[in-house]
Structures are given as structure tokens and as C-alpha cells.
Amino acid sequence: MAPSRHDFQDLKRRVSIERILGQRGLLHTFSVSANKLVGPCPLHRGDSRSAFVVSRARNLWYCFTACRAGGDIIDLVRRLDHVGYAEAGRVIARLAGPEIVAAPPRPAFRPFTRPLSLDPDNPFLRDKGIRPATAAAFESGHYRGAGFLQGCVAVRLHDPAGAPLGYAGRTLDPHRAQRSGKWRLPTALPKHSTLFNYHRVDRRLSGGLAVVEDPWSVMRFAQVGLPAVAILGATMSTEQCALLAPATAILLMLDGDAAGQQATRLLRDQLVATRLRVVTTALPENTDPDQLTDGELRAAWDCFSGLRQKP
């Protein structure tokens, strides 16, 4: 395989012109000082002992007499061997030997702990039946600044112990939602161990818990005094399942679209395998939990409570 552009840069850094001259048995004709090599030109084979100069620091060469040309190590090998770039690269790569290349580092998650100023009185939230006081309590609202959360209704995320992780943003721009999804999450967020609202309800798990997809449904449940967590998507990790293990029973209420229905079947099996009692609520087609009335949310919970108390 021909060396890539990146490989050429790497080879120029790793192999010195001095080494090429040494390999070709030419170094003895050069005078060597700290920063340069000076000797007869190995390209036009002239006899001037000062024709060819190599800068050791910059790893570049120049012939001041017949060639009146210069370049880097690739150019030198091309001219010495009368070969193209690719072959010159291979010649130098053989000289360089294998390099131990470290895997590129994964971006580490860094929690964003500063509280943001958000406007909880927003049409998007009102449309979901979320009162400004509720949004404020959940540290959610319209973000008016620039950057990552620009044009989003943001909501603060915490780890299971309640330490802030940063903010998730739901974009209000339909084109952006179409292009790159509705949600913006912090880089490298440990989503597998994050359950939205868990730290606020973890002492109430024994009374049962609603599990929903997004923070809006959690806020709607909270408004009628019922505990809920959001999995921030339609899949669950083993860590998220383990966090829910102390709950006596789970009311699984995902969105009423095809994806939500499929996810409901998968998550039910997953939670049952964690020895949890699970009640699923099938919502009408294309209905999300946040579109239910307060009365419908309570009715779903009452039905769940009745079922989970059966022996």
C-alpha cells in the first residue's frame, strides 16, 4: 500500500537525511557540525566539497551548484533512486521500521458543573403541559446563549448521586433536528449510567417507579406527585437496570410510535431478567406520555399500583 499524506509527514519527522546518506555509504564525504552537513552533491555527483548542505534541525537539503535545488527527505530519495513519491515513501518507511502507534485517546467526559441561566417560561414546555415552576425546579428552560445549546430548551443532568453532569438540549430548530437529531448531549456523557431524575426519586423506589424516554414526561409525572426517571432514549444499559433493581415494580411508559413499541418489548424483557415486576402501558399510536392529561397519567399509575399489589 502506498504511504498516505500522513505517513509522509510522519516519515519526514522520524527519518533524518543524515540516516539516508549513512545508509548509502555517503556520510564519510560530509563534514558534520551541530546544525549542518556539508559535502559534495550525491545527486549530480560534482566534486565541490561544499555544494550540498543539509540542515539537521529542519531535515532539509540544498545543492548550491549544478542542481540548484533542494527539498526534504522524500525529494532526496526520489532523486537518488529515480523513483516516484510512493516508492520513495516505501524506501524511507523500511528504514524507519515499525513504529508503535498509540490508539488515539478517547475524549474523556468532563462534567460541566456551572449552572446556566434558562428561561422556564417557554412555549415548547407549555405545549407539553409543563408549568414554569416545574421547569425551574428541574433546572430546565430556553437557553438564550450561543454555542452547544444555542436554540435549545435545555435540562440539567445529574449522576445517580446527584452531582451535576451538564445539560442536555432539545433543539427548537426543525431543520437542525432533521439534520442531526432532536437532542444534543454533552461530549462523552456516561449515558449508560445516567438516569434523568434518579437522584430525586431514589428513596421512593420501593413504592414503584415510572420509566419514560425523556425529561418532559418525568416533569409531567412530577406535577401529579408521581416518581419517574427517563432513560434518555429507547435503550437501557445493564448499569441503568441495576440502578432500578431496588424498585418493587416499574411502570414502563415509552412513546407510542413504532420505535417506542419495539423498545417497550425489549426493555420489558430486560427488566424482567433483572427480577423486576414490570407493567407496560401501551399508548395510542403517535402519543407520547407528555401528551396525556394529568387524569390519564394518574389513571395509568393507579392501574399500575393495582396490578403490582396483586400477589
Residues that bind Zn ion (CB under 5 A): 41, 43-44, 63, 66-67
Residue 54 CB, shortest distance to Zn ion, in Å, is 12
Q: Residue 301, SS3?
A: helix
Comparing CB distances to Zn ion, the nearer of 49 and 192 is 49
Q: Which residue number, 50 or 309, has a Cβ lying nearer to Zn ion? A: 50
* Shorter beta-carbon distance to Zn ion: residue 16 or 65: 65
- Enter the DSSP assignment of 213: S
| Residue nearer to Zn ion on the CB measure, 66 or 86 | 66
Residues 6 or more apart whose Cβ sits within 8 Å of residue 254: 212, 213, 234, 260, 261, 263, 264, 267, 283, 289
Q: Of 36 and 44, which CB lies nearer to Zn ion in the complex structure? A: 44
Least separation in angstroms between CB 11 and Zn ion = 23
- CA angle at 16 for the pair 11 and 22, rounded to the nearest 5°: 125
CB of 62 to Zn ion, least distance (A): 9
The smaller minimum CB distance to Zn ion, of residues 60 and 67, is found at 67
| Residue 70 or 132 with smaller CB distance to Zn ion | 70
Strands 52-55, 36-39: parallel, antiparallel or unpaired by DSSP? Answer: antiparallel
Q: What angle do CA 27, 34, 6 make, to 5 degrees?
A: 75
Element housing 258 (H / E): helix 258-273
Min dist. Cβ of residue 20 to Zn ion (A)? 15
Shortest distance, position 87 Cβ to Zn ion, whole Å: 21
Q: How far is the CB of 39 from Zn ion (least distance, A)?
A: 11
CA distance 214 to 255: 9
How many other CB atoms are found less than 10 A from the CB of residue 215?
25
Please give the torsion angle defined by the CA atoms of residues 192, 205, 208 and 220, in that order, rounded to the nearest 10 degrees: -70
CB of 34 to Zn ion, least distance (A): 24
Tell me the C-alpha distance between 22 and 16, whole Å. Answer: 10
Q: In this structure, what is the dihedral angle of CA atoms 258, 261, 267, 268, given to the nearest 10 degrees?
A: -160
SS3 52: strand
The single-letter DSSP state of residue 105 is P
